[in-house]
A and B are shown apart, each in its own frame.
Chain A
Amino acid sequence: MSSPVNGTASSASSTTLSSATPLLEVSGLTKHFPIYGGFPIKRKVGAVQAVDGLDLRVAEGESLGLVGESGCGKSTTGRLITRLLEPTGGTISYRGRDITHASRRQLAPVRSEIQMIFQDPYSSLNPRQTVGSIIKSPMEVNGIEPDGGREKRVRELLELVGLNPEHYNRFPHEFSGGQRQRIGVARALTLNPKLIVADEPVSALDVSIQAQVVNLLQELRKELGIAFVFIAHDLAVVRHFSERVAVMYLGRIVEIADRADLYENPRHPYTRALLSAVPEATADDAPARERIRLAGDVPSPISPPSGCRFRTRCWKATDTCAAQAPPLVRAEGNSAGHLTACHYPETARLPVDG
């Protein structure tokens, strides 16, 4: 368990405070989706650089939030971690074990510990299966027979996620959106996972229902000690759920920090812009809120800008930004573990010691 981490130890040392092997460590993770075309013979003519050199660590029981706008690669990252997609480069290690290219068989024991919750509670559940068999299936696939039988376990899980265990034999269409998402959660919990990758788990739900599911996930995390990679576009939801937050832009992390640091003292211009764009349900007339409006749209991940990928929309960009990609480092004035990838970070708002 405590074997040294393979991969880039140098970048890892600055990422986190804990010296123990993290539950999940991702370094240099890259996913390029090839584009084929050409005439007369089709060949690879380019690639969508969905994820491009990502370094992440998730400690046991920790919740890491992954935020960003559409096309930033956050969902792809989730699918890479759960090995639903094959990485183009980089390494993924789970408990110090390299699983980047592990085969199905090698992956089996790890698969049960890493689970996924999806966004759409309608299409992610097979409409022809009963709730019981949906939740049971991970046990069947992995040949696991818990004490008291599978059905008992399913009933326990239904109760745990706040559904009536008597609804074991019902079909997904008999449930509301929020209840379906609970079924998805129960399925993810079946094998006692240590890490759950939740990809926009509440964004398809109504506001009032969204809060129910967020609370449920929060409770489960605390009670069962499950680590989360929580992927969402809603900065407020992520702030509520995650202790540490990474902001992604065009396939790269631009800033990663503890919750308080990221939301109170954002150093990357993009993080600032993102935060200032979130409308808040307060009636007060323009509190001392920053107002940054980015121009234009996110560039295409097929041909991302050179150097810093945010530079085309950044008000501070210089030639340096076009020439060099800024490394993700602890900027001056950042507290430990707060990394920013920017040549000209914003001034720190709070005095930070250390």
Chain B
Amino acid sequence: MNNPFLSIRDLKVHFSTEDGVVKAVDGLSFDLAKGRTLGIVGESGSGKSVTNLAVLGLHDREHTALDGEILLDGKELLTATERELERLRGNKMSMIFQDALASLSPYHTIGAQIGETYRKHTGASRREARARAVDMLRRVGIPMPDVRVDDYPHQFSGGMRQRAMIAMALVCDPELLIADEPTTALDVTVQAQIMDLLKELQQEFGTAIVFITHDLGVIADIADDVLVMYGGRCVEQGSKKEVLRDPQHPYTLGLLGSMPSLHGPVDVPLSPIPGSPPSLLNPPSGCRFHPRCAFMEKVDGGRCTSLQPVLEVVDGRGTACHLAPGQRRELFADFATARAL
């Protein structure tokens, strides 16, 4: 990827708590070009949301230590002042969240909330901002936008709220949109609407999107590239096709095996990953996935428990696992046939 719009290098996000230091993100790197969508997959506590709050500088500064590099269009964000960040937020980079009802202010009308972002960054008048809000609501598919602009969030349905949130995030034509599980709380038919909308808007504006989700199905629908996170680290990355068709990390494999599908056999049990996600307060030594990994014995010398596997990325494709590529082909073959069914 030449000339990435967002570039993250060796990002570390550590929280200090009463019980010790939580290593929520521990050395994460990725690049994202304009007009592309990067899907970040992971379960609760994998560090996927924390990463993106750090990009916007919205982490709790009091208790968080950040390290590494976050470059947005060549500008370093980690050392940026609060003032500089405020100018970027909502303007050059925006964020939408999972729970649109809780994420919109109950005390202000939808129009005021959208217009406020516009006024802050463009210095537009109230009247201009309102016209812009109506226009944005129309673009995200809200019926009767000139009337609904004066509604409060609680008067909107769940899907409409998420649309309003998207309108608010895109009001200043940002170049980067971070979407943190924006469809998780929605019904499938509405989820499909919202994902279509995001794809359309991306085509129109050329926005770079980071789409965070726990659902590989959603990734398959919306992402160009995929980054799989586990325990605060990236375990696998690549294009959507590469990762979904030919997973290289046992965790990715496990996630795919855990998911029931609409096709394929029904009488075989799912193949879940045993155990639970790791504690980030006291992460496992070596590879953080090793306590749940089915292939640990295949690696010589107990390297899984002692040595942290390095993520080597070639042409945007990489995996952090001690298994040799040949071993993987052999071991994951059963899976490939099962999925081909």
Contacts and interface: CB of A to CB of B under 8 A. Distances in A.
Given A279-B191, A283-B220, A206 B277 contact: yes
B272 interface: yes
A195 B218 CA distance: 34
Interface string A272-295: 011111111111100000000111
A236 B262 contact: yes
Q: Is the interface of B mostly helix, strand, loop or mixed?
A: helix
A233 interface: yes
A170 interface: no
Interface stretch (B9-17, B104-112, B253-261): B253-261
Nearest to B220: A281
A179 to B, nearest CB: 8
B196 interface: yes
Given A70-B187, A178-B276, A207-B214, A281 B271 contact: no
A223 interface: no
Interface residues of B, number: 49
Contacts of B221: 279
Q: Is the interface of A mostly helix, strand, loop or mixed?
A: helix
Interface stretch (A38-46, A209-217, A331-339, A344-352): A209-217
B215 A297 contact: no
B189 interface: yes
Interface in A185-223: 206-212, 214-215, 218-219
Contacts of A208: 43, 254-255, 258, 272-273, 277, 292
B261 A281 contact: yes
Contacts of B219: 281
A278 B186 CA distance: 12
A35 B269 CA distance: 45
A237 interface: yes
Nearest to B262: A236
B190 interface: yes
A283 to B, nearest CB: 4
Interface centre among B158, B192, B243 (most CB of A within 10 A): B192
Interface string B40-82: 0001100000000000000000000000000000000000000
B2 interface: no
Interface string B209-244: 000001111111100000000000000000011111
Contacts of B263: 280
Contacts of B245: 283-284
A215 B269 contact: yes
A211 B261 contact: no
B326 interface: no
Contacts of B292: 208
Interface string B190-210: 111101100000000000000
Given A69-B187, A283-B241, A297-B159, A211 B262 contact: no
B274 interface: yes
Interface in B75-128: none
Contacts of A212: 272, 274
Contacts of A281: 216-217, 219-220, 244, 256, 259, 261
B266 interface: yes
Contacts of A293: 189, 192-193, 196
Interface string A233-273: 11111011000000000000000000100010000000001
B160 interface: yes
A208 B45 CA distance: 13
A278 B158 contact: no
A273 B43 contact: no
A277 B188 contact: yes
Contacts of B282: none
A176 interface: yes
B337 interface: no
14 contacts: A178-B276, A206-B43, A208-B254, A208-B255, A211-B270, A235-B262, A276-B192, A278-B217, A281-B216, A281-B217, A281-B219, A283-B240, A283-B245, A297-B160
5 closest A-B pairs by CB: A211-B272, A279-B217, A211-B258, A240-B260, A69-B187
Given A208-B277, A297-B158, 5 more contacts: A69-B187, A207-B216, A210-B272, A211-B259, A281-B259
